[in-house]
């Protein structure tokens, strides 16, 4: 039983060129573009007054680079976790919604990860982070679909996040609240 609440700052990575082009990224390792780097620097400034005891990130470049920029502003280290990655969209990677609709009518994904596998992976990773940091404040940099899926899993209303947008959840005894 966790007696002390853990505060989570959950962040979507900064912008990439594929975000601008409307391309699905999934596990594709796309770096931040110049705007994404500026967004990450603004995020670091916005979080400057917040207590952060640990920083975790997806191992994909766009999230890891966002986390590194925030961590550098604090002389801290970002810990990469593969389990915080975006959903594996398989053959959809690099395609726009229009291209997916033509190649895969009805948006049926032929391969990759199921929504259930994805949310289970992300929820388990966040639960492990919470268990390792009772009573602390932890920054987690991940991906839009991953964070939306986690919010739904935690029983909260979900909505798309903009690049470098963040929200706060408090975790205690396996429960999350805003």
CA distance to 10, 30, 44, 88, per residue, from 93 (Å): 24, 11, 29, 8
Measured CA distances, 8 to 1, 38, 159 (Å): 18, 23, 18
Please give the positions annotated as active site.
13, 86
């Amino acid at each position: 039983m966790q007696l002390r609440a853990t505060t989570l700052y959950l962040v979507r990575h900064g912008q990439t060129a594929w975000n601008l082009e409307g391309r699905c990224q999934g596990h594709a390792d796309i770096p931040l573009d110049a705007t994404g780097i500026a967004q990450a620097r603004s995020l670091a400034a916005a979080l400057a007054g917040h207590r952060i005891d640990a920083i975790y990130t997806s191992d994909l470049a766009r999230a890891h680079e966002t986390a590194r920029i925030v961590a550098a502003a604090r002389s801290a280290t970002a810990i990469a976790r593969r389990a915080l990655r975006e959903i594996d969209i398989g053959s959809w990677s690099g395609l726009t919604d229009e291209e997916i609709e033509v190649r895969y009518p009805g948006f049926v994904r032929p391969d990759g990860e199921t929504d259930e596998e994805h949310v289970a992976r992300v929820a388990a990773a966040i639960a492990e982070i919470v268990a390792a940091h009772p009573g602390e404040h932890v920054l987690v940099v991940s991906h839009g679909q991953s964070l939306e899926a986690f919010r739904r899993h935690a029983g909260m209303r979900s909505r798309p996040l903009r690049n470098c947008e963040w929200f706060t959840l408090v975790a205690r005894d396996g429960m999350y609240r805003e």
